[in-house]
Amino acid sequence: MPAAVIALADAVGLDLVAEGVETRDQAARLAELGYQHAQGYHFARPLPAAAVRDLMVDHPAVLATADL
């Protein structure tokens, strides 16, 4: 089923974001399936807006490499 979702998104030009990724194994499996973007506790805990702004200013490379 995930392969069908990825194929459908590709066919209509959408980027998929896997949500709720909590472990390295989940992230690895999603990457194997073809997901290019993910979010969840595995990558970072929720942050207040000011902390996100600081992260973007102080560590732009982290965000550039945050995909799977």
Q: Which residues are catalytic?
A: 19
Cα separation, 28 vs 38, in Å, equals 11
Nearest Cα neighbor of 2 from 22, 16, 20 is: 16
Cα separation, 20 vs 54, in Å, equals 23
